Amino acid sequence: MKYKNIVEFKVWGRYALFTDPLTKIGGEKFSYQIPTYEALKGILSSVYWKPTFVWIVDKVRVMKPIRTQTRSAKPVKYGSSGHDLAIYTYLADVEYQVQAHFEWNEKRPDLEKDRNENKHFYVAKRMIERGGRRDVFLGTRECQGYVEPCTFGEGKGAYDGYGELAFGLMFHGFDYPDESKPVELWARFWRPVMKDGVVTFPHPNETQALIRKFVRKMTAAPPDSVGLKEEGLLEGYMEGNV
């Protein structure tokens, strides 16, 4: 299916850490070899986000060789006071080309009057040209990223003509209650295959390519809570029913 509101950009940084959020608390973190769908969606949300629509990541192109680098860290102990000593394994010197589009958030009929495709498309393009509205992170806050426009597929990539490379079972993203199931949080997993440096993501609504796991009961925060709607910070702010 062809979309008119497609955006393309390049994102790069010195380090990246794309971890499974279900197992990232505690222990020594080790990055996935490629960015997760949820991490790229988070980058798009930092560039330009509105509750009127949902960003859909179509594909990512790996531009530089996949290399790792270990760094020492002192994570906070969750069971007691103080810090632990740990070794985190990051991706080093990363660069990606990303192609994505947006779709209207059908869970927000109250924002139907704001469904102006041209307005949001051109604002998103301007925000990409300016490097985003908020700071961009490559998986975690300590991994600063930078964004600029590009044409997807242009330039020489490290894996051009490489063929297929499979990565096994990998985290894809979350089904949030303000975008999907009204009172539940689900995690999505899949088995990505990179072809000549390009990873094509299945749509979050797809059933065959994705494996879903129930996480917990959760309800979306009220649209007007604490002024988050006007500040554009509602994404990820949920009220959990544990």
Higher pLDDT, 225 or 75: 75
The pLDDT of residue 191 is 96
Band of the pLDDT at 47, cuts 50, 70, 90?
A: very high
| pLDDT tens readout for residues 115-163 | 999 999 999 999 999 999 999 999 999 999 999 999 999 999 999 999 9
Per-domain boundaries in the chain: 7-172+191-202
Q: Which residue has the tokens 């062809």?
A: 2
Band of the pLDDT at 86, cuts 50, 70, 90?
A: confident
* C-beta separation of 13 from 139 below 8 A: no
Question: Does residue 8 carry a pLDDT above 50?
Answer: yes
The pLDDT of residue 50 is 93
The pLDDT of residue 22 is 63
Q: What is the mean pLDDT of residues 190-197?
A: 97
User: Can you read off the two tokens belonging to residue 104?
Assistant: 């209207």
Q: What is the mean pLDDT of residues 79-84?
A: 75
Q: Which residue has the tokens 């594909």?
A: 59
Question: Does residue 72 carry a pLDDT above 90?
Answer: no
* C-beta separation of 16 from 103 below 8 A: no
Q: Spell out the CATH class of 7-172+191-202.
A: alpha beta
Long-range contacts of 232-241 (CB under 8 A, 24+ apart): 232/49, 232/50, 232/51, 232/133, 234/51, 234/178, 235/45, 235/49, 235/51, 235/176, 236/176, 238/176, 238/177, 238/178, 238/185, 240/185, 240/216, 241/183, 241/216, 241/217
* Lowest-pLDDT choice from 22-26, 71-75, 170-174: 22-26
DSSP-assigned letters across all residues of 134-163: S-EESSSTTSEEEEEE--TT-S--TTTT--
Q: Which residues have a Cβ under 8 Å from the Cβ of 167 and sit 6 or more positions away?
A: 32, 33, 34, 191, 192, 193, 194
Residues of the chain with pLDDT > 70, as a percent, come to 86
As a whole number, the mean pLDDT across the chain is 86
| Residue 214 parent element (H or E) | strand 211-220
Stated pTM of the model: 0.86
Question: Does residue 97 carry a pLDDT above 80?
Answer: yes
Of the candidates 207, 209, 175, 203, the one whose C-alpha atom is nearest the C-alpha of residue 190 is: 209
User: Can you read off the two tokens belonging to residue 199?
Assistant: 């990873």
Q: Which residues have a Cβ under 8 Å from the Cβ of 137 and sit 6 or more positions away?
A: 42, 43, 46, 143, 144, 145
Q: Quick one: residue 93, left, alpha or beta (phi over 0 = left, psi -120 to 50 = alpha)?
A: left
Question: Does residue 224 carry a pLDDT above 70?
Answer: no
Band of the pLDDT at 227, cuts 50, 70, 90?
A: very low
Task: Report the helix count and the strand count for the chain, using DSSP H and E.
Answer: 3, 13
3-state SS assignment for residue 230: helix
Question: Does residue 204 carry a pLDDT above 60?
Answer: yes
Band of the pLDDT at 237, cuts 50, 70, 90?
A: very low
| Residue 39 parent element (H or E) | helix 37-47
Query: What are the distances in angstroms from CA 133 to CA 27, 100, 138, 176, 214?
Result: 33, 17, 15, 22, 32
Q: What is the rounded CA–CA span in Å between residue 93 and residue 13?
A: 6
